[in-house]
């Protein structure tokens, strides 16, 4: 992947830190989720007879009987390792309308589970079967959703999510206005116009291990579309900022909000396990 095209993409990530509180306060009638929980789970590598279809069937049963009926969960889905530092990991994501809904959703899950499996022995047997697929080790992060989402409208088999985790700097000369103006300009003229990006979800740290984190999730139809996405970002960037002075000004404004450190990962979408 080309470094300069990655830099163009990074500009969108670095222009959000200072506008987060302002946007949340001004948006009194949010249309989408306000918080997202991300649980990094791990397969039970000691399981002798692992079958992917059986795992999907178990999670589909839970999805239909519990998650889809939980009014406090706006969306949910599983994402499987494709390119990341740990091939045992899978990611479970849930989206909520507000902070209180996180706790309410957990309580409601318990109620719905009792309704779905009223017999205690049967309920216990189901959860033992479900939990057998996973290691006891997991980690959790909660992120605040950001403006300029490009909503995913169609989930296809073979779709992937490219996840970029960046880290914010805290420049003394930064401002909400500069931050927001530049972020809006970039996403509207590059990210939202890139036909290879089927969905775009920016999120910033709300609760977890690293307060500087900023996570972008790009939904693409296939792994082959990743390089096409970066190439198209470059084309769109050059089309909007036509002269070198404009390009430099944009890069300079974006660069001061960003440490230069980022991580990349790719996960496969599981279409049948989505709310």
Residue 1: pLDDT band (50, 70, 90) is very low
Distances (CA, A) of 275 to 113, 155, 251: 17, 11, 38
Tokens (6 digits) for 69: 């009926």
Q: Is the pTM of this model over 0.85?
A: yes
In terms of phi and psi (left: phi > 0; alpha: psi -120 to 50; beta: otherwise), the region of 118 is alpha
pLDDT range class, residue 182, cuts 50, 70, 90: confident
pLDDT at 177: 85
Query: Does 3.30.460 match the CATH number of domain 3-26+157-202+212-266?
Result: no
pLDDT band, very low/low/confident/very high, at 180 (cuts 50, 70, 90): confident
User: For the chain, what are the domain ranges?
Assistant: 3-26+157-202+212-266, 35-140
Task: Please state, in angstroms and rounded to a whole number, the distance separating the CA atoms of residues 56 and 270.
Answer: 9
Q: What is the pLDDT of residue 8?
A: 39
DSSP state of 134: B
Closest by CA to 36, choosing from 272, 213, 265, is 213
Instruction: Give the pLDDT confidence of 63-120 residue by residue, as tens digits.
Output: 999 999 999 999 999 999 999 999 999 999 999 999 999 999 999 999 999 999 999 9
Domains 3-26+157-202+212-266 and 35-140 are alike in CATH topology:
yes
pLDDT at position 140: 95
What is the fold, at CATH topology level, of the domain defined by 35-140?
Alpha-Beta Plaits (3.30.70)
* CB neighbour class for 69 (10 Å; exposed up to 12, middle 13-18, buried from 19): middle
Give the model confidence (pLDDT) of 183-230 as tens digits: 889 999 999 999 999 999 999 999 998 999 989 999 999 999 999 999
Which tens digit of pLDDT belongs to each residue from 24-59? 333 444 578 999 999 999 999 999 999 999 999 999
CB of 134 within 8 A of CB of 41? yes
Quick one: pLDDT at residue 13?
38
């Amino acid at each position: 992947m080309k470094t300069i095209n990655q830099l163009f993409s990074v500009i969108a990530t670095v222009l959000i830190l200072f506008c987060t509180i302002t946007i949340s306060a001004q948006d009194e009638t949010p249309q989408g989720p306000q918080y997202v929980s991300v649980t990094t789970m791990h397969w039970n590598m000691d399981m002798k007879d692992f079958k992917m279809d059986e795992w999907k069937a178990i999670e589909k049963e839970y999805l239909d009987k519990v998650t889809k009926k939980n009014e406090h969960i706006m969306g949910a889905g599983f994402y499987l390792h494709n390119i990341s530092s740990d091939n045992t990991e899978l990611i479970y994501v849930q989206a909520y309308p507000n902070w209180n809904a996180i706790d309410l959703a957990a309580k409601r899950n318990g109620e719905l589970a009792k309704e779905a499996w009223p017999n205690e022995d049967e309920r216990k047997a189901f959860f033992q079967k479900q939990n057998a697929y996973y290691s006891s080790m997991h980690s959790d992060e909660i992120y605040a959703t950001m403006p300029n989402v490009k909503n995913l409208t169609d989930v296809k088999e073979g779709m992937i999510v490219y996840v970029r985790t960046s880290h914010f700097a805290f420049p003394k000369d930064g401002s909400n206005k500069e931050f927001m103006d530049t972020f809006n300009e970039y996403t509207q003229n590059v990210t939202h116009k890139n036909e290879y990006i089927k969905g775009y979800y920016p999120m910033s740290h709300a609760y977890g291990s690293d307060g500087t984190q900023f996570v972008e999730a790009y939904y693409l139809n296939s792994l082959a579309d990743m390089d096409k996405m970066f190439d198209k970002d470059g084309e769109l960037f050059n089309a909007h900022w036509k002269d070198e002075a404009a390009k430099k000004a944009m890069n300079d404004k974006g660069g001061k909000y960003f440490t230069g450190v980022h991580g990349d990962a790719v996960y496969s979408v599981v279409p049948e396990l989505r709310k």
